[in-house]
Structure 1
Amino acid sequence: MLPIKNTFLLLSLFCALFICCTSADSKNIKKDYLPIADPYIMTYNGKYYAYGTGGDTSDEGFACYSSSNLVSWKLEGQALSATDSYGTWGFWAPEVYYIESKKLFYMFYSTEEHICVATSTSPTGPFRQEVKKPIWNEKSIDTSLFIDDDGTPYLYFVRFTNGNVIWVAQMTDDLMSIKEETLTECITAELPWELLQAKVAEGPSLLKKNGTYYMIYSANHYQNQGYGVGYATASSPCGPWTKYDGNPILQGDNGLVGTGHGAPFQSVDGSWKYIFHAHWSTKKIHPRTSFIKNFSISDQGVVSISGETVRPGVE
């Protein structure tokens, strides 16, 4: 029988080893799904970086995942933490852009139902708000940046004006605030497919092709199984917007429900894809997970989300 002192020493070593192994495992989370909602992918230097609501992080904020093939993803760690943000809760819908002229990555996101922006020199972070305040004082969510051919930056986001309504405003040159005098209403939920549950239009993304502006957006409450994606077109980044009469272009997919709030992105080979989230199952909403499909705008100006549904996973 070992002396009590030696027994205690062995127990201490075992506990230390267990904690170490547990910690190592937590940093190498393997899942057959990508555990983010409101997902966004940035392609940079031949690699993909994904951000979203939720994810495998130990703190309020956002995780960053990287991939070379869109199927297998690696958790890079915490991209933004609450300590580097204005907010302390409700971190939603991040989007990250590399602005070449500023040599910085900009993360636009929502926290405490206010829209914010943080910067970093790396796509994996850490992102920080140098001045911890929202882009503007009114409650709003779901930011998306678009810089037009003439260099004018526009920020699209959701205001709580008679439901969730998508608005746009020009940004200041430093991309830190909006010009409130340019605020313009864009999209409100008003059609039957958009009103299955609550009056919600959200998750905007902007593209431009052949002089036409395309706004891809989601409608309905995200908890509704009929949550879906539509689009509208305009000849100006501020509208007026004409909704496609074939909407929704994504509403459920091969057994998936609650499909929406995604973003188009260009892949390494030049083709376009669309990442979106769906409910965990037909019986359970959370945790929402992300999927990828093909995205295109035809020569006739019709947007489609189609093809094989890719289910990413974390290595």
Structure 2
Amino acid sequence: MSMNVLKKIFLSVLCTVAVSVAAWGEELVSAVLPIADPYVLFYEDTYYAYGTSRADGFEVYSSKDLKSWKRSSRLALSKEDSYGDKWFWAPEVYYVAKEKKFYMYYSVEEHVCVATSDSPFGPFVQDEKKPIREEKGIDTSVFFDEDGKAYLYFVRFTNGNVIWCAELKDNLKEIKEETLTQCIEAAEPWELVFGKVAEGPSVVKQDGLYYMFYSANDFRSQDYAVGYATSDSPFGPWKKSRKNPLLHKVEELVGTGHGAPFLDRTGRYRYVFHAHKSRTEVNQRNSYIIDMSLTGEDRVSIGGGLIRPEVVK
């Protein structure tokens, strides 16, 4: 085949790609979704993704299909609207219908905080620029129970990284200190490969049973992984599954963890998580989405249908 023919074929392919991109009105910005400690909110037929990525606040991405994501031109939360000015980690956002507001729980300077907004895009603002607790803590997550009570799960540095729970007051910005209860501590062999770390909690409830998903090992470890435990109460005691770890090294991905379950528009569970940049580099960690099945205490699985999100504009 002559060089001229090859050139014509190459130009034809380029034109086809250009027309396709123009037709969809989207241009590829990044082949990865560059956030760690990810969380996905589904609200009014749109998905919103939040995560750890910047030193001065949190970005927000939106998507209709979980594959193509668009980054908002403004931060969802900036340090000017928050307590603290560094180490912005692990945001999670919930829509509270009775307040008609969005609540973002996150940590900054190793203190747990909450900010609110009228939009999932933000800006999220703290009414009072102070943490929920004076004691250090990270990795906040909230579970809203059927009786209207809400529970804050977060990590305290009590013996390594340990997951604790407390009931939130009605204002959703303070906890009832007398309810503070330890939930999950790293103790199993798979949890102790690198450090004494249990973190990144998320709780869901099905058929009266509470499921907590959490990550173990230092996030820098290639053996960072996800396990789960069950309980009849939001406070525990929590029974760790014999199937753990539930998510550990997917395809070529390592350092897989600190994710969160969510329901897609069909009502099916998915799990969003981050992984190392590569097998030789930890950061920038990137996020992925995978299928999740929750059909009983011993019938929980994460796997299959891996989505590799990309950023478009």
TM-score if structure 2 supplies the norm length? 0.90
- Indicate which of 168, 173, 185 corresponds to 1:171: 168
Deviation sequence 1:26-50 (CA, Å, 0-9, x none): xx98101000000000000010000
2:220 is equivalent to residue 220 of structure 1: no
Partner residue, 1:209 = 206
2:117 is equivalent to residue 124 of structure 1: no
Among all aligned residue pairs of Structure 1 and Structure 2, give the percentage whose two residues are the same amino acid. Answer: 57
1:227-242 equivalent positions in 2, closer than 5 A: 227-242=224-239
Q: Work out whether residues 269 and 294 of structure 2, in 8 Å CA contact, stay in contact via their aligned partners in 1.
A: no
Any idea what SS the aligned residue of 2:190 has? helix
The residue identity in structure 2 corresponding to 1:30 is V
1:1-315 equivalent positions in 2, closer than 5 A: 30-54=29-53, 60-76=56-72, 77-299=74-296, 301-315=298-312
The residue identity in structure 2 corresponding to 1:234 is S
Cα deviation for residue 302 of structure 1 reads: 2.0
Cα deviation for residue 299 of structure 1 reads: 4.3
The residue identity in structure 1 corresponding to 2:32 is Y
Return the alpha-carbon distance in structure 2 between the equivalents of residues 294 and 303 of structure 1. Answer: 11
The runs of 5 or more residues in structure 2 that have no matched partner are 1-26
Alignment CA distance shift 1:83-1:282 (3 Å) = same
The runs of 5 or more residues in structure 1 that have no matched partner are 1-27
Cα deviation for residue 87 of structure 1 reads: 1.1
Any idea what SS the aligned residue of 1:194 has? helix
Any idea what SS the aligned residue of 2:76 has? strand
Alignment CA distance shift 1:254-1:182 (3 Å) = same
Cα deviation for residue 289 of structure 1 reads: 0.2
Return the alpha-carbon distance in structure 2 between the equivalents of residues 92 and 138 of structure 1. Answer: 16
Return the alpha-carbon distance in structure 1 between the equivalents of residues 305 and 211 of structure 2. Answer: 23
Cα deviation for residue 298 of structure 1 reads: 1.8
Deviation sequence 1:144-171 (CA, Å, 0-9, x none): 0011111111000000001000000001
Q: Work out whether residues 59 and 77 of structure 2, in 8 Å CA contact, stay in contact via their aligned partners in 1.
A: yes
Return the alpha-carbon distance in structure 2 between the equivalents of residues 300 and 113 of structure 1. Answer: 33
Return the alpha-carbon distance in structure 1 between the equivalents of residues 37 and 65 of structure 2. Answer: 20
Alignment CA distance shift 1:172-1:250 (3 Å) = same
Which runs of 4 or more aligned residues in structure 1 lie more than 6 Å from their structure 2 counterparts after TM superposition? none
Return the alpha-carbon distance in structure 2 between the equivalents of residues 265 and 277 of structure 1. Answer: 15
Cα-Cα RMSD? 1.1
Return the alpha-carbon distance in structure 2 between the equivalents of residues 171 and 165 of structure 1. Answer: 19
Q: Work out whether residues 34 and 284 of structure 2, in 8 Å CA contact, stay in contact via their aligned partners in 1.
A: yes
Partner residue, 1:13 = none
Q: Work out whether residues 230 and 297 of structure 2, in 8 Å CA contact, stay in contact via their aligned partners in 1.
A: no
Return the alpha-carbon distance in structure 1 between the equivalents of residues 297 and 91 of structure 2. Answer: 32
Deviation sequence 1:86-133 (CA, Å, 0-9, x none): 010000000000000000000000000000000000000000001000
Deviation sequence 1:238-290 (CA, Å, 0-9, x none): 00000001100101000100000000000011111000000000011110000
Deviation sequence 1:189-243 (CA, Å, 0-9, x none): 0010000111000000000001100000000000000000000000000000000
Q: Tell which deviates more after alignment, 294-303 or 224-233.
A: 294-303
Return the alpha-carbon distance in structure 1 between the equivalents of residues 148 and 52 of structure 2. Answer: 29
Deviation sequence 1:40-73 (CA, Å, 0-9, x none): 0000001000000006xxx600000000000000
Return the alpha-carbon distance in structure 2 between the equivalents of residues 124 and 256 of structure 1. Answer: 29
Any idea what SS the aligned residue of 1:270 has? coil
The residue identity in structure 1 corresponding to 2:70 is K
Any idea what SS the aligned residue of 2:80 has? helix
TM-score if structure 1 supplies the norm length? 0.89
Return the alpha-carbon distance in structure 2 between the equivalents of residues 136 and 299 of structure 1. Answer: 35
Return the alpha-carbon distance in structure 2 between the equivalents of residues 62 and 169 of structure 1. Answer: 25
